[in-house]
Structure 1
């Protein structure tokens, strides 16, 4: 990590001074905006456990978000189970409220980092503990440094200068540091609605006709902007509710004199206000944000634009991650991180998906007698049990309901055919014109068509006995599927696709003869760019 000139892991002795004086019973949410390898976070969690271990049943004593610019350090943080929510603190945009921001920012840019932290905490209230290069405060050679010193003074912050703080650190430096601690008071909430009612007796709202006009040419940016709009609206409403509480709690509840005082129950019927803070029972901005995040992550993982290339199994796998992602900011950066992770999983799982389909079209459904015609056997490499899939295959896929016998292309039928189509999408590499599967199946169901339903790569026919006949339209693509499956099974010689027929030995030629013959193999070699194309590159093209 030494190539990172700004990476100076905080030594434990210095972290102890940073943590000294913190009241962990008043701290739940924490941001570490220059997390490095996580030294401060680990120390903080241990100290919180000592204080809160007998006071709460929570396993994670602190709700900690980490930010780190260095990609290698981000991998270390994630590997140690820490939540990384962004890469650059200076561009971090969130409405989440933090009880504590604790930081050892880059010495070269500590002034801007601390100003950003103070800007965040001034709005919502909360503590800041920050290590700075002492020169940042002692040598006020820029407007930012002058402003920082003024803000620390105005907020009654404390500054302690420490000599040789990093001389016993993992990475040593003789630089003098300044330990800055600032506590911004929690903002007292007032209801502008009540104020306006008292002054004007009426409330007039104006709507901006353009607020719902999202950017149409960038799906991810558009959905993130919609998320931010919804979060801001909800947070404002919760804060209005917090400001209205004193009035609500003294107006409508029945008292001993028979008069009424407000209980707030009419407000609490709002869903956003039923999410209570686990400590003080108040309507919680952070809990509301978590719920909105969950909704948007769920929507993302069910949107064809985002998960369209994933098989049904992978879609379910990512959908199940929603509970983890509730605590991760719904930002363009994090959505793209998830997208990259998806592509890696798709790339790693593509072999299993295609080989699984190759097996399914053969012996998997042996209990249906007619599926014996699905495959053609040949003598494979070092085995005589090899096979290839024929142009027509039969699988058990029932399009008729068992209770009434009516024709219904339900979600199970659609999901199965979509997964088959996705496997061939990977192999096809975008060469075939698209044909919307769901639209074609809906049209077939509405018209009562059961035979020769035309889909992108094949035609399907459904029978009442519970089978589906699939006839492939593109024999070259079917050939590529057979080559892919046979190679992964080890039924074709290692030289297949690498040597000309005349360059092979007799054993290799014998397999070629059984599989397709010399002439067909020559066609494969002539079109090797098609038959042996890189599936992973196609996936990356789809994402770009």
Structure 2
């Protein structure tokens, strides 16, 4: 099988030689642009006082988890598309041998001031037949050195052996930093007296930029403009700091009454400041994408929180169009899992606080030991507490509106749509006074009544089909219903469909089994299965299962009967979530 990435892990001996090539051992920030699984980084020098800051780029996404487990930040996939190299003081690399010259030239292009060590095929340097190789050779002659090492990939420490000779290339790029900072002092001198308006010059806020219409392109262009503005600002601040130092200390500093600030105009200080501001801008830019309507309009609040929990990994990537589309494509690829989680979140919200919102049925008999009851939401009405409001309020609070928005997103999803035609949020915003005085008002999927005094919202589903669809999807996810490739008998589906009709008899039977014994506290199995410890949950499930078995037996229903030849008319909706609900995030 061919290896499209030309992956040859760097042997330990070669890694040590590569790190030893660096002349400046003051590592501000290090980049490994073809990191693989981090073999080249294992020989990094140990710093007992400060952990080295190392960023990685790796084109094979399957290796990203390995790098992150080692504590490295993965900031991108394609180094040849990477632009943000000015924050690094050192670049160490073992690029694909076929493109070695191209990778080293890219590193030289993006580096502001620092050193490069690269492991190349010796033929790349010895046989400069292409313009890229010729340019690399000139760089080595003017700014570096090379050492040829035979059979470094043929030793015992080489995971993937090859007899190729390597060239260990070292380059030192020195910026015109001092000249850029100082400029021409005489040319820059101006008269002492200047008004504040003169100092501001022609500065104005960039309120409107002529950017393309595409949201992602706009975001990247804005980010790049912000990075360039930050770079110019840091250089200007460093220049001002150098001028200030040339003027000398204040009287307070000379007399010991003031603290002299450290030199903010050194190359290392500028790199640290650049990285800090670049990191802040990148954080803001990724947050902009994460919170954009393309994402949030399709996700429930709980799904959004789960996505944000992975944000530390996301924001380490370079903010570039390919990475953004890759991030959004990742969400699209996981849409089935995300959508199912959203449905389960709303189901749990409905069943969590008010026990009367759901009814029970006998769960699928996967095995006797772990058999439990399943739950399904009532198709007639359910109640959610915790939404009180004062007489002076003109609407619900933000948390309550977010819950209503989650309901609309999930039921639109179940309905094969991207959004509700008449949302619950709009119902409460437009008819809040009418709802407060007891009117029943409808949205796309629910009629609602609001009781502000006790803080409850009563939901009356308009479509039993959508409630049933939710119940079946959650039931299958929780293994209360049989898997797709298995069929249950008519008795099982009968008790599932008629669970609301059996509910009163079921609770009566539970009360019989939980009758108070003297002064002992009555055991509540419904509380136990949700909030109790392991033994309490097991006891609660056993008691409820026994009660349900008694109720079903009294009606001649056997949920475990073998499937009859005659198919039940109560067939399960077993298809995938509607395709029209795809999370079209990257539009």
**Which TM class, normalised by the smaller chain length?**
0.7 to 0.9
CA distance, structure 2, for counterparts of residue 364 and residue 338 of structure 1? 36
Q: CA deviation at 1:108?
A: 0.6
CA distance, structure 2, for counterparts of residue 277 and residue 470 of structure 1? 65
Q: Which residue of 2 aligns with 1:369?
A: none
Q: CA deviation at 1:159?
A: 1.0
Q: Does 1:125 align with 2:113?
A: yes
Q: 1:147 to 1:436 in 2, by over 3 A?
A: farther
Q: Does 1:115 align with 2:158?
A: no
Q: Contact 1:493–1:508 at 8 Å: present in 2 too?
A: no
**How many residue pairs are counted as aligned between the two chains?**
503
Q: Unaligned stretches of 5+ in structure 1? A: 367-371
Indicate which of 494, 498, 502 corresponds to 1:514: 498
Q: Does 1:534 align with 2:577?
A: yes
Q: 1:467 to 1:191 in 2, by over 3 A?
A: farther
Indicate which of 212, 215, 218 corresponds to 1:215: 212
Indicate which of 242, 247, 254 corresponds to 1:246: 242
SS at match of 1:114: helix
Q: Which residue of 1 aligns with 2:129?
A: 141
SS at match of 1:190: helix
Q: Which of 415-424 and 27-36 deviates more? A: 415-424
CA distance, structure 2, for counterparts of residue 28 and residue 362 of structure 1? 54
Q: 1:242 to 1:395 in 2, by over 3 A?
A: same
Output one character per residue of 1:196-245: Cα deviation in whole Å (capped at 9) or x when no partner: 7548997865889997133323x223212211111111111111121232
CA distance, structure 2, for counterparts of residue 384 and residue 6 of structure 1? 54
Q: Does 1:228 align with 2:224?
A: yes
Q: Which residue of 2 aligns with 1:163?
A: 150
TM norm structure 1: 0.78
Q: CA deviation at 1:354?
A: 2.8
CA distance, structure 2, for counterparts of residue 431 and residue 346 of structure 1? 13
Q: CA deviation at 1:132?
A: 1.3
Output one character per residue of 1:492-522: Cα deviation in whole Å (capped at 9) or x when no partner: 55589x86xxxx74534643663699x9974
Q: Contact 2:37–2:66 at 8 Å: present in 1 too?
A: yes
Q: Which residue of 1 aligns with 2:8?
A: 8
Q: 1:280 to 1:91 in 2, by over 3 A?
A: closer
Q: Does 1:89 align with 2:79?
A: yes
Q: What does residue range 417-432 of structure 1 map to in structure 2 within 5 Å?
A: 417-430=404-417
Q: CA deviation at 1:180?
A: 0.8
Q: CA deviation at 1:537?
A: 8.5
Output one character per residue of 1:375-434: Cα deviation in whole Å (capped at 9) or x when no partner: 456666567875442232211032414xx6645311111121122223323322327654
SS at match of 2:35: coil
SS at match of 1:391: coil
Output one character per residue of 1:86-139: Cα deviation in whole Å (capped at 9) or x when no partner: 112111122542111111111111111111111122xx1100001111111111
SS at match of 1:147: helix
Q: Does 1:38 align with 2:38?
A: yes
Aligned Cα root-mean-square deviation (Å): 4.3
Q: Unaligned stretches of 5+ in structure 2? A: 366-371, 502-565
CA distance, structure 1, for counterparts of residue 182 and residue 579 of structure 2? 55
Q: Contact 1:193–1:240 at 8 Å: present in 2 too?
A: no
Q: 1:431 to 1:318 in 2, by over 3 A?
A: closer
Q: CA deviation at 1:9?
A: 1.4
CA distance, structure 1, for counterparts of residue 410 and residue 183 of structure 2? 57
Q: What does residue range 93-108 of structure 1 map to in structure 2 within 5 Å?
A: 93-94=83-84, 96-108=86-98
Q: Which residue of 1 aligns with 2:276?
A: 287
CA distance, structure 1, for counterparts of residue 253 and residue 60 of structure 2? 66
Q: Contact 1:398–1:413 at 8 Å: present in 2 too?
A: yes
Q: Which residue of 2 aligns with 1:69?
A: 59
TM norm structure 2: 0.73
Q: Contact 1:358–1:389 at 8 Å: present in 2 too?
A: no
Q: Does 1:26 align with 2:17?
A: no
Q: CA deviation at 1:365?
A: 1.8
Q: CA deviation at 1:35?
A: 1.0
Q: 1:494 to 1:293 in 2, by over 3 A?
A: closer
Q: 1:40 to 1:535 in 2, by over 3 A?
A: farther
Q: 1:314 to 1:396 in 2, by over 3 A?
A: same
Indicate which of 334, 338, 342 corresponds to 2:323: 334
CA distance, structure 2, for counterparts of residue 246 and residue 101 of structure 1? 28
Q: 1:136 to 1:480 in 2, by over 3 A?
A: same
Q: CA deviation at 1:331?
A: 2.3
CA distance, structure 1, for counterparts of residue 386 and residue 142 of structure 2? 72
Output one character per residue of 1:284-326: Cα deviation in whole Å (capped at 9) or x when no partner: 1111111112222333333332233333233334445555655
Indicate which of 137, 140, 146 corresponds to 1:152: 140
CA distance, structure 2, for counterparts of residue 42 and residue 524 of structure 1? 59
Q: Which residue of 2 aligns with 1:400?
A: 389
Q: 1:441 to 1:95 in 2, by over 3 A?
A: farther
CA distance, structure 2, for counterparts of residue 487 and residue 209 of structure 1? 53
Indicate which of 160, 163, 181 corresponds to 1:174: 163
Q: Contact 1:388–1:486 at 8 Å: present in 2 too?
A: no
Q: Which of 10-19 and 444-453 deviates more? A: 444-453
Q: Which is higher, the Rg of structure 1 or of structure 2?
A: 2
Q: Contact 2:15–2:43 at 8 Å: present in 1 too?
A: yes
SS at match of 1:284: helix
SS at match of 2:59: coil
Q: Contact 1:249–1:264 at 8 Å: present in 2 too?
A: no
Q: CA deviation at 1:4?
A: 4.1
Q: CA deviation at 1:335?
A: 3.0
Q: Which residue of 2 aligns with 1:459?
A: 447
Q: Which residue of 1 aligns with 2:294?
A: 305
CA distance, structure 2, for counterparts of residue 409 and residue 16 of structure 1? 63
CA distance, structure 2, for counterparts of residue 541 and residue 116 of structure 1? 35
Q: Which residue of 2 aligns with 1:479?
A: 468
